[in-house]
Amino acid sequence: MRKISLDKLDQLFAEISSKSALYIPVDTAAGAKFEKYDGTKKMSDALNTVRSAKDFFFPQTENLVDFKVEGKTIEIKETVKEDEDFVVFGVRACDVKSFEILDRVFLADPVDNFYKNRRDHGIIVSMACTRPAETCFCQTFGIDATAPAGDIECHKTTDAVYLEAKTDKGAKLLKSLNALTEDADASAVEAQKAQTKEVFKKLPLAGLDASAFGDGKTNEFFNAPEWKTLSESCLGCGTCTFVCPTCQCYDIKDFNTGHEVKRFRCWDSCMYSDFTRMAHGNPRLTQVERFRQRFMHKLVYYPTNNEGIFGCVGCGRCMAKCPINMNIVKVMKKLGGNK
């Protein structure tokens, strides 16, 4: 384990950014968000960013290909050249776990090369939580916010940041920072982890239990009458899906500029009325069906197809951002018998 004093953190950032693009969470008027380090930005102390680190690997919009059509001739132009190494610093445990969930979607055959290329070039430097919010429930899904993993795992104390490599990529990066860091034992980190775990035990959602859901529970919950009452207040705005670190739905569209056609993909939401609409129409005509689809996917469909792993990481963003205060926690309590 290595450590660096807080007053030298900018030196650490400068060294990393001299070799790779570096992104850190910074405070903005709209809340904390990841921005490219330029020597002037200061790392935010916020618990989490408004939007997750998912954006670095699965951006909201991305151009896939350009092409021109002249008669029977099609000229294809490859537009994506992702060859820049980058480091994302300060990723919380919930977002680190979300990459495992996204990997199972985008790295399964057929592999999504756009996503894979970014994963190959990206290095995740995580940051352990010390001040969890009342909306946090990552522990419901077995996530330890005091041990966030990533390529390098960091712990911030009152006077220093402790760093420990967890992967080969992380070890290589950390070794390059030896001149700025020093050897350290784990005593301060272990003490801080113990204190934080005590805080987690006192959170409002500490007892939230997901055991009623998971693999093979489709028949049990699909026709539950509670879906109607739960969905009545839902606006179908899609906010929950756009702040969610694990949502992976997208649409592919063509845009004719008049000179060429740009084919791009952009995030989509299962909460929208035109989601998965095909030639014959929409397979989910009502808000009840769309609402059910979102939460069944997180709590039943995904774990059924992925060795019991849930599609939620308990980051609490949907709780914080839903305009009518509807979220996955209310669904779990209503359907799963949680109090």
Cα three-residue angle 280-302-80, rounded to 5 degrees: 75
What pLDDT is recorded for position 286? 84
Residues 180 and 261 in one domain: no
Structural domain contains residue 207: no
What pLDDT is recorded for position 277? 64
Residues 273 and 155 in one domain: no
What pLDDT is recorded for position 69? 85
Distance CA 41, CA 129 (A): 21
What pLDDT tens digit does each residue of the chain (339 aa) get?
999 999 999 999 999 999 999 999 999 999 999 999 999 999 999 999 999 999 999 999 999 999 888 888 888 888 777 678 999 999 999 999 999 999 999 999 999 999 999 999 999 999 999 999 999 999 999 999 999 999 999 999 999 999 999 999 999 999 999 999 999 999 999 999 999 999 999 999 999 999 999 999 999 999 999 999 999 988 989 899 999 999 999 999 999 988 889 999 999 888 887 776 655 556 667 889 889 999 999 999 999 999 999 999 999 999 999 999 999 999 999 998 765
- How many CA atoms lie less than 13 Å away from 159 in the CB half-sphere? 1
- The CA-based dihedral angle spanning residues 227, 233, 239, 241, taken in that order and rounded to the nearest 10 degrees: 0
Residues 143 and 237 in one domain: no
Residues 158 and 262 in one domain: no
Burial of 199 (0-12, 13-18, 19+ CB in 10 A): middle
Exposed e or buried b per residue across 32-60, where buried means at least 16 C-beta atoms within 10 angstroms of its C-beta: bbbbebeeebebbebbbbbbbbbbbbbee
Q: How far is CA 72 from CA 68, 75, 313, in A?
A: 10, 10, 49
Residues 222 and 180 in one domain: no
Phi and psi dihedrals of 322, rounded to 5?
-65, 125
Distance CA 234, CA 57 (A): 29
Residues 196 and 227 in one domain: no
User: Quick check: 148 and 164 in contact, CB under 8 A?
Assistant: no
What pLDDT is recorded for position 131? 93
Structural domain contains residue 208: no
Give the residue ranges of DSSP H helices in the chain.
9-17, 93-106, 113-121, 168-175, 187-201, 218-221, 226-231, 239-243, 287-296, 302-305, 317-321, 328-336
Structural domain contains residue 259: yes
What pLDDT is recorded for position 109? 95
Kind of pairing, strands 122-127 and 86-91?
parallel
What pLDDT is recorded for position 236? 87
What pLDDT is recorded for position 292? 92
What pLDDT is recorded for position 338? 62
Residues 137 and 232 in one domain: no
What pLDDT is recorded for position 226? 94
Structural domain contains residue 193: yes
The pTM for the full model equals: 0.91
Residues 193 and 234 in one domain: no
Count of domains forming the chain = 2
The 3-state DSSP class for residue 220 equals: helix
Domain boundary among 175, 201, 227: 201
What is the domain range of residue 269? Answer: 218-336
Residues 174 and 249 in one domain: no
Give the residue ranges of DSSP H helices in 42-152.
93-106, 113-121
Structural domain contains residue 314: yes
Distance CA 258, CA 68 (A): 10
Residues 163 and 223 in one domain: no
Kind of pairing, strands 21-26 and 2-5?
unpaired
Q: What is the pLDDT of residues 106-164, one digit of tens each?
A: 999 999 999 999 999 999 999 999 999 999 999 999 999 999 999 999 999 999 999 99
